[in-house]
Structure formats: C-alpha cells, structure tokens
Structure 1
Amino acid sequence: MKLENTGIDNKVIDLVPLDHVMGKHAFIRGENWDYERVTYDYKINSQEKNVTYYIRIQGEAIEGDVDRKDAVIKLKTPLLGKHYYPHGIEYGEDENFPKNLIERANNLVINANEELEKYNK
C-alpha cells in the first residue's frame, strides 16, 4: 500500500546526506548494484507467524551515478508491504494492514522526512 501525504514524495536530495539520514532512522539501503536507483527498507517484525512488514522508500537518480556516490536522488511515494515467508513481499492495496501499523509506518517516514527537509534541493 502507498503511504501518502508523508511529504517525502518527489523530494530531491544528494545521495550522501540521504544515505546518512535514512541510516539514522533505521532505513537500510539495499545493496543491489544499480547506477540509477536506490531502495531503503525499514523492517517491522510481526507477531504473526512467518510475516514481516517492510516500509520501502525508492528513489531514482536524476543526475550523477549512485555507484560513484555523486547522484542526486528523487524519492518516490513510500510503500508498506507484507512479507510472506518464503513467497516474498506484497504491496497491493488488497493487503490488510493493522491501523496501528499504518500509523507507525507513516510516523517513521514523516520523522525521516523532517530531517531530510534541510537537504531538499
């Protein structure tokens, strides 16, 4: 599901401060090799058997190169997903997310966004 109205959508930030701030807020950048895209995930454990939730924030380089760490990243709308072991993560609107989880996810993104605001181009 999309986490709308967090303020992070379309934010444009240099990669180095973006990595720093996201790391401070426990969003881990995926180690996938890509010149043009970044993905930050925040893991939320669940009491449900074999279920883990993730907040995913994706971004795309609008200039520079992610690998060289000189990229300028435009962030996309965050997603809340539910990982079903061993099948993978589902982000669909048909997924049922507890209301308190949605509130927590929104607050985590909003808190990171507040700190990112000073780096917005």
Structure 2
Amino acid sequence: MIEIPSQLEGQSFNLYRLESTLKPIGYVIGGNWDYDHGYFDYKIDDEVGYQFLRVPFTAVDGQLDSQNTTVQLGRPFLLSHKYQIGLDDHVRGIDPGTFNQFSEPQDPDASFPTKYIDLGKSLVKELEDLLQQD
C-alpha cells in the first residue's frame, strides 16, 4: 500500500453526487463497503493481480444506503491484490472458466509496481481538479 497525500482529505461531499461524478470516469464503489464507510476504486491494471487507486470515505451524515448521505474523503492509496491461480477450495458452485469474484487473495498486500506510482499520483491530481470544481 502506498499512500498519496491529497487536498481532498477531510473534504465532504454528497455521496450520490460524488458517485455520479466518479462512475463515468471509471471509479466504482468497492464491494467491501459498510453502512458507515467504503472506498471508491479505480482499476489501474490487472498485471499479476489487480492494481487499484483506492479513495476511502466515511459517512458523516446518514448511512451509505440512505439518500442525501454526506461522506468525508480520506487519504487515497495505491493497492495491489494478487489472487490465487487455479481452484479455490473455499468456494463451491462456480462454473469452470468464469471469473470468481470471491476467490481469496494470495497476497492482499502485494507490492505495488513502481511503474504505476506516477500514474496513481496523476489520478489523484485529476480527482482534485474535478472535485474542487463543484
């Protein structure tokens, strides 16, 4: 994990508006959200696992599944997940040849490829420019 300091840290946004702004440029709300916090993920690459820019957020007014929720952004970071190749003994009922989104990571904190660090920093700068216009 590589943290990227940002001017967005601590800023608050309406979650619906934030999601409407970020989804068209490739961000998704990561599947590991809870009612009070979550992450916007941008997939950078899938070289030997997956490399993401992850932007954490915390609910400051309401819950994430409610309308008009306000969230506060945390410090963005770069993250690699290296997934198991082959069968996953802990998941049953998946057809051969399909992607198993529930496979356990081989190394959830895999080292991040240095060639993508500058790209991650430029993505954070792009977010700062985009969100500070609102």
TM-score, length-scaled by structure 2: 0.73
**1:105 CA displacement:** 0.6
The structure 1 segments of at least 4 consecutive aligned residues displaced by more than 3 Å after TM superposition are none
Whichever of the two has the greater Rg, that structure is 2
Structure 1 residues 33 and 106 mapped into 2: Cα distance closer, same or farther (>3 Å)? closer
Q: CA deviation at 1:55?
A: 0.8
Instruction: Tell me the SS of whatever aligns to 1:18.
Output: helix
Aligned pair count reads 112
Match of 1:3 in 2: 4
Question: 1:3-59: per-residue Cα shift (whole Å, max 9, x none)?
Answer: 12x322111111111101111221111244532112111112254xx2321111110
Structure 2 counterparts to residues 4-83 of structure 1, below 5 A: 4=5, 6-32=6-32, 34-47=34-47, 50-83=48-81
Name the residue aligned to 2:109. 90
The separation in 2 between residues aligned to 1:101 and 1:46, in whole angstroms, is: 12
Identity, % of aligned pairs?
Answer: 21
Q: 2:93 is matched with which residue? A: none
In structure 1, C-alpha distance between the alignment counterparts of 2:133 and 2:24, rounded to whole Å: 15
Greater RCO structure (CA 8 Å; 6+ sep) = 1
Q: Tell me, which stretches of 5 or more residues in structure 2 are unaligned?
A: 85-105
CA RMSD after TM alignment = 2.0
1:36-95 alpha-carbon deviations (Å, 9 max, x no partner): 112111112254xx232111111001112210132111000011011112224317xxx3
TM-score (norm 1): 0.79
Gaps of 5+ in 1: none
